[in-house]
Amino acid sequence: MIAVVGMPGSGKSEFVNIALSFGYRFISMGDIVREETVKRGYPLEESGKVAQMLRDKEGLDIIAILTLERISETQDGKFLIEGIRGIKEIERFRKEIDFFLVGIHTSPRIRFERLKNRGRVDDPKNFEDFYKRDLRELSWGLGEAFALSDVIIDNNGTFQDFRANIDKVAKKYEL
């Protein structure tokens, strides 16, 4: 299993799009949170609130547990997990599955511009909201999780630069 960690807007989804060509099955932890949001009757704009509620009630590894349940439903294949938010999730995964953790680094200003242009309903509309979201995600342990990455890929340049960086990692670590 490969897991990818990075701040919102860092390029995790682009990494996934590229990495899928290596034969991995994809599971988005963010999609799991969005499904839980809808299941609990909240609008998607409140998925961050629901994620916090889940972690407060069930523990900081609850999204990892839900992800592992999704993996166990299929029982086969290589998996690519996107959306790790904390060290407790990494600890849960390491108890259950052998995986390689890829960190994606992108500066805050670039990430903010990407999120503004992405246009998902839960994306921040201004830099203040962006900053608050970053702080919330860091409070879950995202920074510590990022620090535990087996490799960090820079995504501060062009898409072609990012692709080249992913290709180097894929060759070096035989992804």
Degrees, nearest 5: CA angle 5-56-82: 20
- Name the pLDDT band for 159 (thresholds 50, 70, 90): very high
Q: What is the DSSP string of 92-129?
A: HHHHH---EEEEEE--HHHHHHHHHHH--TTS-SSHHH
The residue-averaged pLDDT of 53-67 equals 94
Judge whether residue 164 has pLDDT over 90. Answer: yes
Q: Which of 36-45, 47-56, 112-121, 153-162 has the lowest mean pLDDT?
A: 112-121
* Domain span at 31: 2-173
pTM, two decimals, is: 0.83
Q: pLDDT of 69-78, one tens digit each?
A: 988 887 667 8
CATH number at residue 47: 3.40.50.300
What is the number of structural domains in the chain? 1
